[in-house]
C-alpha cells in the first residue's frame, strides 16, 4: 500500500520501512526550536536533569523574536536566561537582537530547515516548515526539553487530508486567501491532528513565500502539520542555502487519505477573517463598512519580502488615513535590508507608516502595536482570538497584504480597487 509524504518522512525518522495512521512512534529529530517565550521553561526543565549538554549543538536552535528588543524587565530576564544557556552549550544557531528574525521565516532563510527534515518547535506555528517538504510540528516546552537532551520525541502518526487547488487566482488574491478560505470551509477543528497536504496546479505555481504562508496557518485548522511536496521551486530556494544533505519525498499515487478536498480558486475573492476565529471568513465584497484604528503588515505569516513588495505597490504615493496607524514589520534582518535596497522603506515611511525591527511583537499582543479597548485592527497575522492583540474588547481582522495596505489608506477594510 502506498504512503503519503508525511508517512514516508516519519517512517524514515523512526527507522522503519513504513508507518500507518494512529501508530505511536519514536523519532529522531533534525531540528529542535525554542523562542524567548517557550525556551526558558525548557531550559529550566533541562537543568533539573543530570544532563550536561544538548544532544547536538548544531540541531538545537534558539531565537529571540517574541518580546524583543526587550519590552520590559521580565522579557529582558527571559532573553538573558536563553543567551546564557546558548553560550554555555556553545550552540551554533542562537539568534538575538540585531541578528534574529521571526523564527519561522529565519530558519528557512538560513537553510537551517531543509526538505525531508523532522522538526519540532515549542511554538504552534512550527508547522510553517512543511512548505519545504519537511514534517514540522509544535510541541510543549517540556517536550522540547526532553528532545534537547535525547534528540528524539514521540508522535502519533497523523491521517492526511489532501487539499487540491485548481484554476487561476484573481487579482489581489494570494496564498493567504487560499488558506483562509480553506479554514472557513472546514473550520478551526476541521483538520484536527491531521496532516494537511497542499497540492494541485495552483500550489505548484506558488512561490516559496506563498507556500510558507499556507503551511504556517495549518495549525489554525487544528492540523498537526501542513506540507507541500517539494519540486523545482523548492530546489531553487534551498540549493544555495543548504549546508547539509536533504531529501525530497513525495506521496505515492495509491496513498490512502482520510479525505480529499478540491477547490476552484477562480471563484475565490480576497478573504477577511472576522473576529474572533480564523474560520469566520467573508469575501471582501461581503465586508461592508468596518472602520479601523490600526493595520499590521508582518508576522511569520506575511512578513516576507514578497508580502512587503505587494504592500509597497499599494502604498506608493499614498498616505495612511488620518487617525489610522500602520505598522510594518519585516520578518528578518535580510528582508529589512532588502526593503532598504529596493526603496520599500521610503514608500512605507512616506505613507506615514511606522517600520519596526523584526519581531513577532503585536501579533500576540506583545508590544509594538498593542490594541486598546474597543479598537479594531486589520492584520496579516494568523490569529484573531479574543484579546490576541491587546484588550479583550479589541478586534482583529485577518487579511492578505494587499487588502491590509489598501485598508490603511481607506481607514476601513477595503480593496486596492477602491483607491
- pLDDT attached to residue 154: 96
What does pTM read for this prediction?
0.94
Burial class (CB in 10 A: 0-12, 13-18, 19+), 72: exposed
301 vs 42: CA distance, rounded Å = 25
Q: pLDDT, tens digit, for every residue of 17-59?
A: 999 999 999 999 999 999 999 999 999 999 999 889 999 999 9
In a domain, 267, yes or no: no
Cell numbers for 83, please give them.
Answer: 543567551
174 vs 340: CA distance, rounded Å = 24
Domain boundary among 230, 262, 294: 262
Residue 279 and residue 249 share a domain: no
324 vs 297: CA distance, rounded Å = 13
Residue 171 and residue 27 share a domain: yes
Residue 112 and residue 43 share a domain: yes
Residue given cell 537551517 in the structure block: 112
Q: Is the pLDDT of residue 1 over 90?
A: no
- pLDDT attached to residue 366: 87
252 vs 4: CA distance, rounded Å = 6
Domain that holds residue 302: 273-418
Residue 327 and residue 219 share a domain: no
Q: pLDDT, tens digit, for every residue of 59-97?
A: 999 999 999 899 999 999 999 999 999 999 999 999 999
Domain boundary among 210, 243, 262: 262
Residue 209 and residue 136 share a domain: yes
Residue 279 and residue 258 share a domain: no
In a domain, 268, yes or no: no
Looking only at Cα atoms, what is the longest distance across the chain? 63
- pLDDT attached to residue 365: 87
Residue 291 and residue 240 share a domain: no
* Residue partners of 327: CB distance under 8 A and separation at least 6: 294, 295, 296, 297, 298, 353, 354, 355, 356, 362, 368, 369
- pLDDT attached to residue 240: 94
Residue 294 and residue 208 share a domain: no
Q: pLDDT, tens digit, for every residue of 241-287?
A: 999 999 999 999 999 999 999 999 999 999 999 999 999 999 999 99
Compute, in degrees rounded to 10, the torsion defined by CA atoms 74, 75, 81, 84.
-130
* Residue partners of 147: CB distance under 8 A and separation at least 6: 29, 32, 55, 120, 139, 153
Residue among 83, 73, 130 at smallest CA distance from 104: 130
In a domain, 340, yes or no: yes
Cell numbers for 95, please give them.
Answer: 539568534
Q: Please state at what angle helix 208-216 crosses helix 175-186, rounded to 10 degrees.
A: 30
Q: pLDDT, tens digit, for every residue of 210-236?
A: 999 999 999 999 999 999 999 999 999
- pLDDT attached to residue 50: 84
Beta-strand runs (E) in 240-320: 259-264, 271-273, 281-283, 294-297
What's 118's DSSP letter?
E
In a domain, 321, yes or no: yes
Mapping DSSP to helix (H, G, I), strand (E, B) and coil, where does residue 175 land? helix
- pLDDT attached to residue 363: 87
Q: What is the CATH number of the domain that holds 370?
A: 3.30.499.10
What's 382's DSSP letter?
S
- pLDDT attached to residue 36: 93
In a domain, 385, yes or no: yes
Cell numbers for 99, please give them.
Answer: 541578528
94 vs 329: CA distance, rounded Å = 21
Residue 284 and residue 248 share a domain: no
Residue 117 and residue 180 share a domain: yes
Q: Is beta strand 31-35 parallel, antiparallel or unpaired with respect to 118-121?
A: parallel
296 forms beta bridges with 327, 379
Q: Any idea which of 7-21, 83-97, 140-154, 359-373 has the lowest mean pLDDT? A: 359-373
**pLDDT class of 358 with cuts at 50, 70, 90:** very high
If you write DSSP's letter for every residue of 136-148 in order, what string do you get?
EEE--HHHHHHHH
346 vs 351: CA distance, rounded Å = 8
Alpha-carbon distance values, 100 to 275, 392, 400 (Å): 31, 30, 24
Q: Are 139 and 153 in contact (CB under 8 A)?
A: yes
Residue 350 and residue 231 share a domain: no
Q: pLDDT, tens digit, for every residue of 108-141?
A: 999 999 999 999 999 999 999 999 999 999 999 9
Domain boundary among 199, 227, 262: 262
Segment 158-177 mean pLDDT: 97
**In the chain, how many domains are there?**
2
Residue 252 and residue 278 share a domain: no
In a domain, 361, yes or no: yes
Residue among 247, 259, 199, 226 at smallest CA distance from 9: 247
Q: Is the pLDDT of residue 237 over 90?
A: yes
Q: pLDDT, tens digit, for every residue of 286-313?
A: 999 999 999 999 999 999 999 999 999 9
In a domain, 401, yes or no: yes
In a domain, 251, yes or no: yes
Question: Between vectors from CA 52 to CA 49 and to CA 53, what angle results, nearest 5°?
Answer: 115
Alpha-carbon distance values, 211 to 13, 33, 110, 220, 229 (Å): 24, 21, 17, 15, 10
Amino acid at each position: 500500500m502506498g504512503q503519503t509524504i508525511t508517512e514516508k518522512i516519519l517512517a524514515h525518522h523512526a527507522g522503519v520501512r513504513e508507518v500507518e495512521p494512529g501508530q505511536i512512534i519514536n523519532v529522531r529529530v533534525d531540528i529542535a526550536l525554542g523562542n524567548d517565550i517557550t525556551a526558558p521553561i525548557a531550559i529550566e526543565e533541562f537543568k533539573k536533569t543530570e544532563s550536561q549538554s544538548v544532544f547536538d549543538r548544531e540541531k538545537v536552535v534558539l531565537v529571540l523574536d517574541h518580546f524583543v528588543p526587550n519590552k520590559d524587565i521580565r522579557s529582558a530576564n527571559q532573553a538573558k536566561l536563553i543567551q546564557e544557556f546558548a553560550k554555555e552549550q556553545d550552540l551554533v544557531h542562537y539568534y538575538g537582537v540585531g541578528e534574529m528574525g521571526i523564527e519561522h521565516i529565519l530558519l528557512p532563510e538560513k537553510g537551517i530547515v531543509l526538505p525531508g527534515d523532522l522538526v519540532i518547535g515549542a511554538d504552534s506555528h512550527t508547522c510553517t516548515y512543511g512548505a519545504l517538504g519537511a514534517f514540522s510540528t509544535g510541541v510543549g516546552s517540556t517536550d522540547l526539553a526532553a528532545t534537547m537532551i535525547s534528540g528524539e520525541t514521540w508522535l502519533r502518526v497523523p491521517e492526511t487530508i489532501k487539499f487540491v487547488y485548481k484554476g487561476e487566482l484573481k487579482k489581489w488574491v494570494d496564498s493567504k486567501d487560499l488558506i483562509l478560505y480553506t479554514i472557513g470551509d472546514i473550520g478551526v477543528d476541521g483538520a484536527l491532528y491531521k496532516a494537511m497536504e497542499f497540492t494541485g496546479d495552483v500550489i505548484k505555481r506558488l512561490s516559496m513565500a506563498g507556500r510558507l504562508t499556507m503551511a504556517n496557518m495549518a495549525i489554525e485548522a487544528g492540523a498537526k502539520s501542513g506540507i507541500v511536496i517539494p519540486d523545482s521551486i523548492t530546489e531553487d530556494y534551498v540549493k544555495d542555502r543548504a549546508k547539509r544533505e536533504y531529501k525530497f519525498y513525495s506521496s505515492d499515487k495509491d496513498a490512502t487519505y482520510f479525505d480529499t478536498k478540491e477547490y476552484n480558486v477562480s471563484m475565490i475573492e480576497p478573504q477577511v477573517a472576522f473576529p474572533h476565529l480564523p474560520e469566520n471568513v467573508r469575501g471582501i465584497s461581503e465586508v461592508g463598512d468596518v472602520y479601523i484604528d490600526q493595520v499590521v503588515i508582518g508576522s511569520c505569516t506575511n512578513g516576507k519580502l514578497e508580502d512587503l513588495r505587494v504592500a509597497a505597490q499599494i502604498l506608493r504615493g499614498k498616505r495612511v488615513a488620518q487617525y489610522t496607524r500602520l505598522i510594518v514589520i519585516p520578518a528578518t534582518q535580510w528582508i529589512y535590508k532588502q526593503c532598504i535596497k529596493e526603496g520599500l522603506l521610503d514608500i512605507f515611511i512616506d505613507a506615514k507608516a511606522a517600520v519596526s525591527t523584526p519581531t513577532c511583537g503585536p501579533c500576540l499582543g506583545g508590544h509594538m502595536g498593542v490594541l486598546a479597548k474597543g479598537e479594531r485592527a486589520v492584520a496579516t497575522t494568523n490569529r484573531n482570538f479574543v484579546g490576541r492583540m491587546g484588550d479583550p474588547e479589541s478586534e482583529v481582522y485577518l487579511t492578505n497584504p494587499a487588502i491590509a495596505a489598501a485598508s490603511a489608506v481607506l481607514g476601513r477594510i477595503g480593496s486596492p480597487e477602491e483607491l
